[in-house]
Structure 1
């Protein structure tokens, strides 16, 4: 008799100033959780890029269903501009994935230090009623969440690689990366505005654009 359908949900790219935030949901049968463990599936942050890429086809082949949802910088900025914070935006995205995937059990990595608060956010948008487990560091505790973290991270890295191929070196996409800050500064100096794949609401972007305007532009 087949076991329950178990989902894991996680994201990649919540904090960067460049590129999308990618949410992912993966559904496997309960008896396949051991297969994920034996295959080395775990939190994507504990794996090298090459190992993550090798695991993607394995996860996709074993999954009953999986979905990826990309939240683009403009969508993130518009939500924040309406007073919708990142936790709320992420809860809506995870709910959308769960409503499509319809698992019996769902393990969710909470971005909020208060997982119960994030669980209540998520429940507001759910049309399905899985057994719901929402925890901090779920990607390290549950292999199916680790699988979602891997698919999300690899997709985000692909998007950043595409930007790099088109626009040149732009670093990791994080505000603390000097290469990313230099890329943004040079873009603003050349174009008088931020690139369309930058999150304008991030402090780094606001500071660079304000500094450019204070200096009189070009």
Structure 2
């Protein structure tokens, strides 16, 4: 069963309020899930899964963690290490550009989340997910709008997804030189658009996305 809860103040910082509510019901393995790279033009979409220990000390240990987009790359790397140390279990999953083109970005994002869930070493009992539901996963779940700003386990999952995907895009920058993947991570910045005009799309590009289809047709920005 999935419920979509109303958003809180987007400026709020993540807490353990949702996790504590579930821990009080006797649940111990509450998994937070979030994605990274959903809007990029190239590369996979990534997802993270984090199960935090059901103790109040987690709040102090992760004090200062917030929406991964509000953190610098160096801060995210430090937080990722800290999250992996404290988590009862964690996992990262990916869905490739080819899978995104074949099934659509929403279905591919859900697939990456399912893979992250499967990669965790403990079986989740309840899911807290940033904005999405996983209809193919037979577990109780909450889809939380602005979840990475509201629930610490979701914020932690977002950091793991983002750092894992960024590391992969830096590797791809070596294999596919000229596109600048190490810098923009596949997002549609002007430098990426210019590289597409010069080089055309590579196998990492999502051909179902309009800018890539335009580049293939030779009509990008025309």
Q: Is the 8 A contact 1:10 1:148 kept in 2?
A: yes
Match of 1:34 among 59, 63, 73: 59
State yes or no: 1:158 paired with 2:167.
yes
Q: Match of 2:18?
A: none
State yes or no: 1:183 paired with 2:195.
yes
Moved over 6 A (4+): none
Q: Match of 2:137?
A: 126
Give the alignment's TM-score, normalised by structure 2.
0.76
1:197 aligned counterpart, secondary structure: coil
Q: Match of 1:62?
A: 86
Q: 1:142 to 1:77 in 2, by over 3 A?
A: same
Q: Match of 1:90?
A: 109
Match of 2:76 among 45, 52, 56: 52
Deviation at 1:43, TM superposition (A): 1.3
1:211 aligned counterpart, secondary structure: coil
Measure the CA separation in 2 of the matches of 1:65 and 1:95: 15
Q: How does 1:15-34 map to 2 (within 5 A)?
A: 15-31=39-55, 33-34=58-59
Measure the CA separation in 2 of the matches of 1:35 and 1:3: 21
Q: Which runs of 5+ in 1 are unaligned?
A: 81-85, 111-117, 189-193, 213-218
Measure the CA separation in 2 of the matches of 1:28 and 1:149: 14
Q: 1:100 to 1:16 in 2, by over 3 A?
A: closer
Match of 1:4 among 13, 28, 49: 28
Measure the CA separation in 1 of the matches of 2:213 and 2:193: 12
Q: 1:69 to 1:100 in 2, by over 3 A?
A: closer
Measure the CA separation in 2 of the matches of 1:36 and 1:5: 18
1:52 aligned counterpart, secondary structure: helix
1:80-103: per-residue Cα shift (whole Å, max 9, x none)?
Answer: 3xxxxx223323433444456422
Aligned length: 187
2:90 aligned counterpart, secondary structure: strand
CA RMSD after TM alignment: 2.1
Q: Is the 8 A contact 2:48 2:91 kept in 1?
A: yes
Q: Report which of the two has the higher share of helix.
A: 1
Q: Which runs of 5+ in 2 are unaligned?
A: 1-25
Q: Match of 1:208?
A: 215
